[in-house]
Structure 1
Amino acid sequence: MANKSEQTQDWYSEYIATYTWEQRKNWYSQIADAYNKTRPRYPQQLINRVVELAQLPSDANILEIGCGPGIATVPFAEFGFAMLCLEPSQPACQLARENCVIYPSVEIKNQTFEEWELEAEKFNAVLAATSFHWVSPEIRYQKTAAALKDKGLLILLWNAGVLPQDEVYRVLDEVYQNQAPSLAEYHAKERADRAESIKELGQNVIESGLYENLIYEQLLCKTTYSIEDYLALLQTYSEYIALDDKKRTSLLAKLREALEKNCGNSIEASYLSAFHIAKKL
């Protein structure tokens, strides 16, 4: 039986194989505002640890792949690094520009990594924050390595699985079982092996044969959502975006009803924030 990491990668690989890059680049466009508002942030402690381990020079050049609205861009920009950030979705790209307007060394381009014309051996680090799995497998490691300077670093950040507390999960699971059994299975697996699935993603970096000295660390974080924001968050996840519009609307209405009836005004949750750092061979 495939593990969660393999299942997740299979899902994205199937999506990448099915849709052209023109279609893929708009995958998150409709929910860009909700993504910007509700996706969890990378804790400063984690960012500081990455910068400490990476030992980047103060004038480092960083290439960011799939920056979204700039959730990871901002904390790296605050260190003064020069950043070239690629974002396929035009609405997310605009949000990133707004969020990074005070950082003159940050440039944001509305491009996929696939479209981007390679600037070989230019960057001290390539950064991807919960986005690397969207890059086409045939260029994922080769093109990042080609963009890096000698001994440059691939830095992968992950925010995984915003999981509500058990009593809320049981309420939600009952709705999933009735309305969307595939999502019931998805969330159950997510709860069972959230940490292991992220760890395994780093092994693919080493198995590419282009990187070495893999470092992995993780941090368990807590957060609180209103019911409205939690439902908005769910809509930013691929498994929900992929649902038929009518089915998604019905599911969210049932989830809202169950939460309002059983869970008060706020939802306590946790998520795993983690990173991989690997050095170009």
Structure 2
Amino acid sequence: MAPREQLEIDPRRSRVFGEVAELYDATRPGYPEPLVREVLAYAALGRRAALEVGAGTGKATVPFAAAGTPLVCIEPDERMADVLRRNTASSPQVQVEVGPFEDWLPSESRSFGLLLAATSWHWLDPERRWDLVHGALAPGGAVALFWNLQGVRDAELHAALAEVDRRHGMANAPHGEPASSFGDVPGNGGAVPGSWPDAECRRDGRFTDLRAHRFRREHHWATDRYVGHLASLSHYRVLAAEQRERLLAGTARVLDAHGGGIAMEQISDLFLARTR
């Protein structure tokens, strides 16, 4: 499938998550264990540590740490990092550092065996991110980029939610696509158009052994949790407060009228590559 047109990311959106760090942590979905196993098998870290970029509150950090992976986590927001530290308090091999990845320099260049970015790659400077990744990795080191996306299983519910979004000017809700639209190709249907990294990585030329995987799960969200999840998303956070509350209230009414929640196809797409 041809790459979709690159979306111009509003820089305000990368700085809003800390406003709702606890809500983000409580409502955001994590990543499936098979994805974690696939990454670790591919990276074959041995004694080398991993570097996580944009770690947030630890949705990916926690399962990788549970597998025994030593991690240095870079998170630009101190409020998110505070929750991350709490969530990894029982994992002494996790180190948390605060600041933008673009400003962070490893103490020993090209030392990491794995760099991972969980739903954060699209926030990095597209002009510099492959240089930064290559500079942080040891020769043969792996990069793992992955995202969660959702598809609505009920066509009638999808249509009703689409009407609410249209009325309130929301164009990129996670329930914006029916589950049937995603197909089987990793990178198809991503929430951020143009973010799938395959073409960009191939143009860079310093990486090899490119692979892609798609993992599927069924998930049911109760109304309150799903609306909380929406409230933690950047494109909802940047709305005026009154507009956001009207949109969320309308979404909740639709969900309550359809049984008090939403059944979703939870898809996790994984991209892997390694330095030559």
Amino acid at match of 1:166: A
Determine whether 1:250 maps to 2:211: no
Aligned to 2:59: 71
Determine whether 1:280 maps to 2:271: no
- Percent sequence identity is 28
Aligned to 1:268: 263
The 3-state SS of whatever aligns with 1:138 is coil
For 1:160 and 1:181, how far apart are their aligned partners in 2? Answer: 17
Determine whether 1:100 maps to 2:96: no
Aligned to 2:8: 11
Amino acid at match of 1:278: A
The 3-state SS of whatever aligns with 2:45 is coil
Determine whether 1:234 maps to 2:217: no
Determine whether 1:35 maps to 2:32: no
Aligned to 1:52: 41
For 1:236 and 1:4, how far apart are their aligned partners in 2? Answer: 27
Assess, with a 3 A threshold, how the Cα gap between structure 1 residues 35 and 114 changes in structure 2: closer, same or farther: same
Q: Which of 113, 116, 120 in structure 2 is aligned with 1:131? A: 120
User: Deviation string for 1:62-83 (max 9, x for gaps)?
Assistant: 1100001001111111222211
For 2:153 and 2:225, how far apart are their aligned partners in 1? Answer: 13
8 A Cα contact 1:219 1:273, kept in partner: yes
- CA RMSD after TM alignment: 2.5
The 3-state SS of whatever aligns with 1:102 is coil
Aligned to 1:215: 211
Matched pairs, number: 267
Deviation at 1:104, TM superposition (A): 0.5
Deviation at 1:164, TM superposition (A): 5.2
What stretches of structure 2 of length at least 5 have no aligned partner? none
For 1:34 and 1:191, how far apart are their aligned partners in 2? Answer: 29
**Pairing of 1:135-150 with structure 2 (within 5 A):** 135-150=124-139
Aligned to 1:171: 160
When structure 1 is superposed on structure 2, of 61-70 and 168-177 the one drifting more is: 168-177
The 3-state SS of whatever aligns with 2:59 is coil
Deviation at 1:25, TM superposition (A): 5.6
Deviation at 1:189, TM superposition (A): 9.0
Deviation at 1:111, TM superposition (A): 1.2
When structure 1 is superposed on structure 2, of 105-114 and 178-187 the one drifting more is: 178-187
8 A Cα contact 2:182 2:188, kept in partner: yes
The 3-state SS of whatever aligns with 2:214 is strand
When structure 1 is superposed on structure 2, of 67-76 and 201-210 the one drifting more is: 201-210
Deviation at 1:53, TM superposition (A): 2.2
For 1:104 and 1:184, how far apart are their aligned partners in 2? Answer: 37
8 A Cα contact 2:181 2:189, kept in partner: no
Deviation at 1:109, TM superposition (A): 1.1
The 3-state SS of whatever aligns with 2:115 is strand
Assess, with a 3 A threshold, how the Cα gap between structure 1 residues 172 and 189 changes in structure 2: closer, same or farther: closer
Deviation at 1:181, TM superposition (A): 5.6
Determine whether 1:202 maps to 2:198: yes
For 1:193 and 1:28, how far apart are their aligned partners in 2? Answer: 27
Q: Tell me the TM-score normalised to structure 2 length.
A: 0.88
User: Deviation string for 1:156-214 (max 9, x for gaps)?
Assistant: 12112354532321221121222226347992499745841459432222222221111
Q: Tell me the TM-score normalised to structure 1 length.
A: 0.86
For 2:151 and 2:56, how far apart are their aligned partners in 1? Answer: 18
What stretches of structure 1 of length at least 5 have no aligned partner? none
Q: Which has the higher helix share?
A: 1
Deviation at 1:135, TM superposition (A): 0.7
For 1:193 and 1:90, how far apart are their aligned partners in 2? Answer: 35
For 1:115 and 1:165, how far apart are their aligned partners in 2? Answer: 44
The 3-state SS of whatever aligns with 1:98 is helix
